[in-house]
Structure 1
Amino acid sequence: MSSTNGQGSENGPGSRIGLSSYAFFWQLSDQVSAPLTLQEALAETAALGVDLFQICDYAPLEAMTDAELAAVRATADALGISLELGTKGIRPEHLKKFLRLAGILGAPLLRTMFNVPGHTPDADEAVAIFTGLLPEFEAAGVKIAVETYEQVPTALVLEVIARVDSPYLGICSDPANTVAALESPREVIDAVAPYVLNMHIKDFAFSRKEGWVGFTYSGAPLGEGLLDYAYMARKLQPKERNINQIIEHWLPWQASEEETIRLEKQWTQQSLDFLRSN
Structure 2
Amino acid sequence: MKIGIGSYALFWEFQDANPSPLSPEGMIDRAAHLGCEVFQFCDDPRIEQCDEVALQRLRERAEILGLELELGTRGIDPEHLGRHLDIAEALGTRLLRSMIPAEGITDGPDAAAEMLRGLLPRLEAAGITLALETYEQVPTSTLLQIIDAVGSPRVGVCLDPANCVAGLEHPQQVITSCAPRTVNLHVKDFAFARQAGWVGFVYSGAPLGEGLLDLDLELGAVYGAGAPSAGKRSADPGRATTGTARRTPRAIVEHWLPWQGDLETTLATERAWTDRTLTALRAWRAEHLPPSDLG
Same fold, TM-score > 0.5, yes or no: yes
Q: What's the counterpart of residue 255 of structure 1?
A: 261
1:137 counterpart residue number: 123
CA distance in 2, matches of 1:227, 1:238: 18
| Cα distance in 1, alignment partners of residues 194 and 117 from structure 2 | 45
Residue 176 of structure 1: CA displacement?
0.4
CA contact (8 A) 2:104 2:112 kept: no
Name the residue aligned to 2:208.
222
The aligned residue for residue 87 of structure 1 is 73
Aligned with residue 152 of structure 2, among 166, 169, 181 = 166
Q: Note the C-alpha offset of 1:119.
A: 5.1
- d(CA) in 2 for partners of 1:71 and 1:31? 27
**In the alignment, does 2:74 pair up with 1:74?**
no
Which of 99, 102, 114 is equivalent to 1:128?
A: 114
Secondary structure, counterpart of 2:12 in structure 1: coil
Q: CA RMSD in A?
A: 1.3
Which residue of the partner structure matches residue 270 of structure 1?
276
Stretches of 4+ aligned residues off by more than 2 angstroms: 118-122
Cα separation, 2, equivalents of 1:267 and 1:245? 15
1:124 deviation in Å?
2.0
Equivalent residues in 2 for 1:182-193, closer than 5 Å? 182-193=168-179
**Structure 2: distance between partners of 1:52 and 1:194:** 22
Aligned to 1:23: 9
- Which blocks of at least 5 consecutive residues in structure 2 are unaligned? 226-245, 285-295
- What SS does the corresponding residue of 1:212 show, helix, strand or coil? coil
The secondary structure found in structure 2 opposite 1:217 is strand
SS in 2 for 1:204: strand
Report how far residue 231 of structure 1 moved: 1.1
Per the normalisation by structure 2, the TM-score is 0.86
Give the corresponding residue for 2:30: 44
d(CA) in 2 for partners of 1:130 and 1:141? 16
Give the equivalent residue in structure 2 for 1:3.
Answer: none
Q: Look up the equivalent residue of 1:134 and give its one-letter code.
A: L
Query: Which amino acid counterpart does residue 12 of structure 2 have in structure 1?
Result: W
Distance (whole Å) between structure 2 residues aligned to residue 271 and residue 221 of structure 1: 8
Distance 1:172 1:202 in 2: 13
- Once the two structures are superposed, residues 85-104 of structure 1 have per-residue CA deviations (whole angstroms, 9 ceiling, x without a partner) of 10000000011111111110
For the Cα contact (< 8 Å) 1:56–1:87, is it kept in 2? yes
Distance of 1:225 and 1:238 partners within structure 2: 23
Letter in structure 1 aligned against 2:283: S
Cα offset, 1:120, TM superposition: 4.9
Instruction: Say which SS state the counterpart of residue 96 (structure 2) adopts.
Output: strand
- TM-score, scaled relative to structure 1: 0.92
Deviation for aligned residue 1:238: 6.2
CA contact (8 A) 1:223 1:274 kept: no
2:42–2:72 Cα contact (<8 Å) kept = yes
State whether residues 190 and 204 of structure 2, in contact with CA within 8 Å, keep that contact through their aligned partners in structure 1.
yes
